[in-house]
A and B are shown apart, each in its own frame.
Chain A
Amino acid sequence: MKFDIYDFTSFNQWVDKLLYDALPPVWALIVEMTIIGLAFLLFYALVGLFLVYAERKVCAFMQNRLGPNRVGPFGIFQTIADFIKLLMKELITIKNSDKFLFNLAPFIVIIASFMAIAAIPFAKGLHAIDFDIGILYVIAVSSLGVVGVLLAGWSSNNKYSLIGAMRSGAQIISYELSVGMSLLTIIVLAGTMQFSAIVEGQADGWFIFKGHIPAFIAFVIFLIASTAETNRGPFDLAEAESELTAGFHTEYSGIKFAFFFLAEYMNMFIVASIAATVFLGGWMPFHVGGWAGLNHVMDYIPPFVWYFGKTMFVIWLMMWFKWTFPRLRIDQLLNLEWKYLLPINLFNILLMAFVVLMGWHF
């Protein structure tokens, strides 16, 4: 068994061979899928815990204070304590709500983010699903989260939740357009929608550098639009603390609230990893085409370290947005999308197509 930290394909083949030799093919397939599913669940939970802690620490440092520092060294067990508390809370059932939809809504949101994360490459070969329409699949599947939000607002039987859910829904649907179109810009540059091919294509330079101006504009627009889509940062009017109610998840308590909470952080992780993969090269180290010496040095750092580093960088940028800016009102939010981001996006796609046709990229 060759366990190569730089290339997981041989490890995958070894596991595959082991299972198919030991069990009949149907069972082997089921066991394989179960293993991958469990690995993702574990990853999901761990990253969620880590992100909540990271947000509190980053927020604290920006505000000139310490953040969690009592539960465990440097407060690293704070999130675990919070989740134990949420688990022990009473699950309040509402009298006149639609019980089936009420209980289903958090699960839809989590399932949508699960399906999206399955398509992201973590390192060479560490890739659960490798569609040849990878980006389209991810955009399509992350739109399913809206259904969960609207169901949560509707089934709470609370007019403020409904208002909050409607606002959230309008916001998410509008900004999906911008997300899709900024990713379209990079597809024009890369020529393919398959994630592994996109990452391989950045072997001599990341797309944000290769595509200079249009790629940079697409990156900025993607950041803004994805912050809005995950209901974060300056676009969190629907769940703001100083507004009337907590939006669509007002009536949820205990573990169901924890699901929404976790799903929000995981969505942030997913959009950050898409940004890191598509714009910043995924697990590809920092190469400059032609400088073999630099490329060789950069290759020493294992790919998943590169991947996580880039994702954490984008997450840090999103946290920076949230803790600096005041909130936008809902009409200003929609104004921003339809009057500013959409026209710039359309113009950007045109510009990128022109650049690719004329060969003016690196």
Chain B
Amino acid sequence: MKEVIHTPVQHVEEEEYNINMGPQHPSTHGVLRLLVTLQGEIVAKLQPHCGYIHRGIEKMCEKDTYPQLIHLTDRMDYLSAHINNHAICLLVEDALQIEVPERVKYIRTIIDELTRIQSHQLWWSSFGMDLGGLTCFFYGLRDREKILDIFEESCGSRLLHSYYTPGGLMWDIHPNFQKSVKDFIKYFRKKIKDYERILSGNVIFRERSRGIGVLTKEDAISYGITGPSGRASGFSCDVRKHYPYAMYDKVQFKEVLHTEGDTLQRYLARMEEMYESMKIIEQLIDNIPEGDHQVKMKAVLKLPAGEYYQRVESARGHLGVYCISDGNKTPYRMKFRSPSFVNLSVLDHISRNTKIADLVAIGASLDLVIPDIDR
């Protein structure tokens, strides 16, 4: 017998009115419905309604074997597809006590950092576009195409790659990989200065983002906001530093921390992260050791019964994968701690008493990818 569930009617004060931003809206990057209660132009309260792109990935994981999980986690946060896959591969390799070759670790780190740069490029493009500087969209995407070309050459596709497998990589990198990556870094170091000239230094942009949507460090810690959004408030949460995996404990890079936690600091944190990623790649790209690209794995992978947790730093924050296995070849339960879901929870808190035009800027600075929220 099905029950009709009544959602309680929102209590509105006098002179307040509710509007819907989305699900289809040019500024919410994906299908997210924000029920905003406005008093004139000031935001009084905000209720996000997610679930428009829920595909049941966690349930589908229960019937897939461990190598087959890769094609599902690709599609969770599609802008950091490789990093999601990395989490699954680490989980399986850890549980089966498999040590991957050095070559695999190097390549995985380089490709992870390229993914991070590519995700931040798309974020920059849409951030500029949301604030009204439409040229930023085209510049960012034009440069992102270079990374996508590198991926297409080595992995076979631009967006949803399925390149990592438990035990190594699907196939070895293309011989042109090193040269393409080095060319890209040289090219991008010049272009990122363009980005700073056109948006970061612009007085209009600064006025629209300084002091808007302040997230204090205590709030960041208590809500669990990780990634560049949390680090801009001073919360040191980089998984690459605290729980290193792959080659991250052997390369030099800085964890980008700011203190004020407003939209401008979140923006600057991501721009600096792009520089740090390029530094990591430069340290690794020339020294990829020779070796095998895949450890010989059994045809059917069965994880010993138990609970496993693995964490990686995706472009949006701390991505956690929790797996309960009962000894079969498919997991009993998979749970993903997705960074965008947690980051969304703070949108209401920091956008109170800002104007509706600022809400767009705050939403863009938190870098939410909606399929990551809904899985």
User: B-contacting residues of A (Cβ < 8 Å)?
Assistant: 59, 62-65, 159, 234, 236-237, 240-244, 323-332
Contacts and interface: CB of A to CB of B under 8 A. Distances in A.
B142 interface: yes
28 contacts: A59-B134, A63-B137, A64-B138, A64-B139, A159-B17, A234-B132, A242-B129, A242-B132, A243-B356, A243-B357, A244-B19, A244-B21, A323-B135, A324-B135, A325-B202, A326-B133, A326-B199, A326-B208, A327-B131, A327-B132, A327-B357, A328-B204, A328-B207, A329-B208, A329-B355, A330-B357, A331-B355, A332-B204
Contacts of A242: 26-27, 129-130, 132, 360
Contacts of B19: 244
B262 interface: no
Interface of B is mostly: helix
Interface string B100-143: 00000000000000000000000000001111111101110010
A326 B357 contact: no
Interface in B196-255: 198-199, 202, 204-205, 207-208
Interface of B: 17, 19, 21, 26-27, 128-135, 137-139, 142, 198-199, 202, 204-205, 207-208, 355-358, 360
A63 B202 CA distance: 18
Contacts of B130: 242
Contacts of A323: 134-135
B132 A326 contact: yes
B306 to A, nearest CB: 48
A241 B131 CA distance: 10
Nearest to B198: A324
Nearest to B17: A159
A326 B199 CA distance: 8
B134 to A, nearest CB: 7
Contact of A326 (B131, B139, B355, B356): B131
A234 B204 contact: yes
B138 A63 contact: yes
A62 to B, nearest CB: 6
Contacts, number: 66
B204 A326 contact: yes
A332 B209 CA distance: 12
A237 B139 CA distance: 23
A159 B132 CA distance: 23
A65 B134 CA distance: 13
A361 B17 CA distance: 58
Nearest to A160: B19
A22 B357 CA distance: 63
B349 to A, nearest CB: 21
A242 B138 CA distance: 16
Contacts of B128: 326
A350 to B, nearest CB: 27
Nearest to A62: B135
B142 A240 contact: no
A331 B355 CA distance: 10
Contacts of B27: 242
B357 A237 contact: yes
Contacts of B138: 63-65
Given A64-B138, A65-B138, 8 more contacts: A62-B135, A63-B135, A63-B139, A236-B132, A242-B130, A244-B21, A326-B202, A327-B133
Contacts of B137: 63
Contacts of A329: 208, 355, 357-358
A124 B350 CA distance: 61
A327 B355 CA distance: 14
A323 B139 CA distance: 12
A62 B204 CA distance: 19
B151 to A, nearest CB: 21
Contact of B360 (A65, A243, A332): A243
Interface centre among B27, B204, B205, B355 (most CB of A within 10 A): B204
B360 to A, nearest CB: 6
A194 B31 CA distance: 57
Nearest to A159: B17
A323 B356 CA distance: 23
B146 to A, nearest CB: 13
A244 to B, nearest CB: 7
